[in-house]
Amino acid sequence: MKIGVIGAGTMGIGIAQVAAQNKNDVFLIDSSEVALEKAKQGLKTTLQKLVEKGKITEDDLQETLEKTSFSHELKVLAQCDLVIEAIIENLSIKHELFREIEKNVSENCIIASNTSSLSIASLGSVIKNSNRVIGIHFFNPAPIMPLVEIIPAVQTSQEVLKKCQSIISDWGKIGFIVNRVARPFYGEALRIYEEGIADFATIDWAMTEFGGFKMGPFTLMDYIGNDVNYAVTESVFEAFYFDPRFKPSFTQKRHKEAGFLGRKTGRGYYDYSIPELPSPTRDKDLGLMIYNRILCLLINEATDAVFMQIGSVEAIDLAMTKGVNYPKGLLKWADEIGLAIILNQLENLFHEYGEDRYRPNALLRRMVREKKKFY
Ligand SMILES: NC(=O)c1ccc[n+]([C@@H]2O[C@H](COP(=O)([O-])OP(=O)(O)OC[C@H]3O[C@@H](n4cnc5c(N)ncnc54)[C@H](O)[C@@H]3O)[C@@H](O)[C@H]2O)c1
């Protein structure tokens, strides 16, 4: 197949690599020459590392590079069967691009977006033949994460959905539908910091030490980029009609405005120009309090996803373990801790703050009343 990928940033390069390694001809497009040059070098370096580790051969490397071409012009998309857009997370800029994509692709080309949070239905609304629009949401880093979220819009045809599911599974990925559950990992960590309970390093320590997460929330936000993570939070908030559960954080907004985007700018919550990152306060009681607070909000969100029929218990746990690399499925975790304990913690927070972000999900209350478990 011929695959177009637009946006040669973090996600675009990864998606292009996945497609090219699966023997497709890939056209990676970016409006910035600098980004294209960086992508070219980046792909080469990544593939060389894979050769050194013995994961691919020198021939595979050559073949993948030959299959990938770089351009700043959309007209190369004319031959593509599938185009995946991975530019900046901004609805009006994406709308503009979608109109341009439609002018440049063939009638049967599927037009997909890698958006983390914008509405696929809205993206589809600006083009004439919108039944070919779909969300194909890769996780970061795309070549490594096994899960890909496939998001049909109300306009998407069954044929396009089936075709995309088959492409994604041919690429060795698991197609999946889920969203939003991870927001409290960032939002509640920021809130805990804003209340002055602990600094970034201590909150990160609590989540890795007691939760077994691979990275703490601030390290992860610095890795994702505060611009990207903030944009996702803002559009989830909007998409849920400003439900206070998803309220963005001033701290993150100010970091974004200051250009403290994370590793990519050398400074985010941490300053990467200093050789040693700050040490956490290793206070066990404090650490456990932070971990419990963030985890019970995550579990509340996963419960809501079951309650609102977004996916089954197993599917939501699979999404969080395979999609965002959580050490355990949140609902399995909830069973282990005990649903009554989780509910009690949420009730205490809700009582203390009187804010809707802590309101326990109705399904959780019901399950505790009926002495049920998720598994
Ligand atoms: N970073 C993540 O962890 C992550 C994970 C999943 C999904 N996403 C989504 O993927 C998309 C891209 O994110 P990213 O982190 O790769 O961004 P990025 O900032 O690293 O890269 C975006 C690239 O798009 C280019 N670009 C911007 N406008 C353009 C246009 N009109 N035409 C062509 N190129 C244009 C920029 O030059 C840049 O190189 C976003 O929608 C984001 O929400 C990001």
Catalytic-role residue among 119, 130, 179, 229:
179
Report if residue 374 sits inside a domain: no
Residues 356 and 243 in one domain: yes
Residues 133 and 227 in one domain: no
Residues 297 and 355 in one domain: yes
The rounded Å distance from CA 87 to ligand 1 centre is 3
Q: Which of 15, 87, 179, 221 to mutate to test the pocket of ligand 1 (most atoms within 8 A of CB)?
A: 87
The rounded Å distance from CA 138 to ligand 1 centre is 12
Residues 189 and 310 in one domain: yes
Q: Which residues line ligand 1 (CB under 6 A)?
A: 6-12, 30-32, 35, 86-89, 93, 97, 114-116, 137, 139-140, 224-225, 228, 232
Residues 216 and 353 in one domain: yes
Residues 169 and 122 in one domain: yes
Residue 104 CB neighbours (<10 A): 17
Domain count, the chain: 2
Q: In the numeric block, which tokens belong to residue 282?
A: 């290793």
Domain, as residue range, for 27: 2-176
Whose Cα sits closest to atom 21 in ligand 1?
9
Whose Cα sits closest to atom 40 in ligand 1?
89
pLDDT at 240: 85
Report if residue 48 sits inside a domain: yes
Whose Cα sits closest to atom 1 in ligand 1?
224
**Of 249, 244, 198, 181, whose CA–CA distance to 221 is shortest?**
249
The rounded Å distance from CA 281 to ligand 1 centre is 36
Reply yes or no on whether 140 is catalytic.
no
The rounded Å distance from CA 320 to ligand 1 centre is 22
Per the CB < 8 A criterion, the answer to whether 216 and 301 are in contact is: no
**Of 219, 230, 224, 227, whose CA–CA distance to 271 is shortest?**
219
DSSP secondary-structure letter at 262?
B
Reply yes or no on whether 149 is catalytic.
yes
Catalytic-role residue among 89, 102, 131, 137:
137
Residues 220 and 315 in one domain: yes
Considering the entire predicted model, what is its pTM?
A: 0.75
Report if residue 171 sits inside a domain: yes
pLDDT at 176: 56
CA-116 nearest atom, ligand 1: 43
- Of 138, 153, 176, which closes a domain? 176
The rounded Å distance from CA 223 to ligand 1 centre is 14
If you compute the radius of gyration of the chain from its CA atoms, what whole number of angstroms results? 21
**CATH of residue 78:** 3.40.50.720
pLDDT at 186: 96
**CATH of residue 338:** 1.10.1040.50
pLDDT at 174: 64
Whose Cα sits closest to atom 25 in ligand 1?
7
Residues 193 and 133 in one domain: no
Burial class (CB in 10 A: 0-12, 13-18, 19+), 207: buried
CA-93 nearest atom, ligand 1: 31
CA-12 nearest atom, ligand 1: 16
Reply yes or no on whether 314 is catalytic.
no
Residues 247 and 357 in one domain: yes
In the block, residue with structure tokens 């980046």: 42
Report if residue 93 sits inside a domain: yes
The mean pLDDT values, 10 residues at a time, for the chain of 375 residues are 97 98 98 97 97 97 98 97 97 98 97 94 96 94 87 93 91 65 95 98 98 97 91 83 93 97 96 95 98 98 91 88 90 98 98 96 98 98
CA-264 nearest atom, ligand 1: 20
pLDDT at 178: 56
Report if residue 375 sits inside a domain: no
Alpha-carbon distance of 371 to 368, in angstroms, equals: 5
Residues 146 and 210 in one domain: no
Residues 155 and 260 in one domain: no
Residues 167 and 301 in one domain: no
Contacts of 126 (CB under 8 A, 6+ apart): 95, 98, 99
- Of 125, 150, 176, which closes a domain? 176
- Of 153, 176, 199, which closes a domain? 176
The rounded Å distance from CA 11 to ligand 1 centre is 6
Supply φ then ψ for residue 93, to 5 degrees: -65, -40
